[in-house]
Amino acid sequence: MSLDIQQIDHLAKLARLALSDEEKKLFASQLASIFGYFQKLQSIDTTDIEPASQILPLKNVFRLDEISASGEEARQKIIANAPNKSNRHFVVKKIL
């Protein structure tokens, strides 16, 4: 498939590009080769091939959240490490 300069001008206008005459000739030949490759791809029979969104097998690597019993001693140690605390709670600045 070959593209003429008018088609390149139209594409450049749509993309809001200012192209020189040399760039127009270069892009015309490059786009023609790209479209030629697309035509080759269109000729391939893909009737028995299922669509794929991923080519690599992916799996979830996150662990499930599990509730674990923590005793009062563990809670006290955690609160003891807090810079600001009030009884059994952390004290933080307001965020508005």
Q: Is 87 left (phi over 0), alpha (psi -120 to 50) or beta?
A: left
Side-chain-facing half-sphere of 13: CA atoms under 13 Å: 6
68 part of a folded domain = no
Query: Residue 30, SS3?
Result: helix
Query: What's the structural domain count of the chain?
Result: 1
pLDDT string in tens for the chain (96-residue length): 678 889 999 999 999 999 999 999 999 999 999 999 999 989 999 888 888 887 888 788 888 888 887 788 888 888 888 889 888 888 998 888
Q: Which pLDDT score is estimated for 51?
A: 84
Give the pair of three-digit tokens for residue 51: 């669509």
In a domain, 19, yes or no: yes
12 domain-assigned? yes
Answer yes or no: is 14 within a domain.
yes
User: What is the CATH classification number for the domain harbouring 38?
Assistant: 1.10.20
Which residue range forms the structural domain that includes residue 11?
A: 5-42
In a domain, 57, yes or no: no
Tally: H helices and E strands in the chain: 3, 2
Q: Considering the domain boundaries, does residue 81 fall inside one?
A: no
Is residue 63, in this structure, part of any structural domain at all?
no
